[in-house]
Amino acid sequence: MLKDFDSIATIAVKDTATAKQFYEDILGLVPFASGQHEVLTYKTGNSKLLVYRSQYAGTNQATVCNWAVDDVVAEVKGLEAKGVKFERYDIPGVTHEGGVHVFGGDFKTAWFKDPDGNILSIVKRSAT
At the top level of CATH, the class of 62-128 is: alpha beta
Q: What is the mean pLDDT of the chain?
A: 91
Q: What is the pTM of this model?
A: 0.90
Four-way CATH pick for 7-55: 3.90.1330.10, 3.40.50.1360, 1.10.540.10, 3.10.180.10: 3.10.180.10
With contact defined as beta carbons under 8 Å apart, do 76 and 99 qualify?
A: yes
User: For 63-72, what is the mean pLDDT?
Assistant: 94
Q: What is the mean pLDDT of residues 3-14?
A: 91
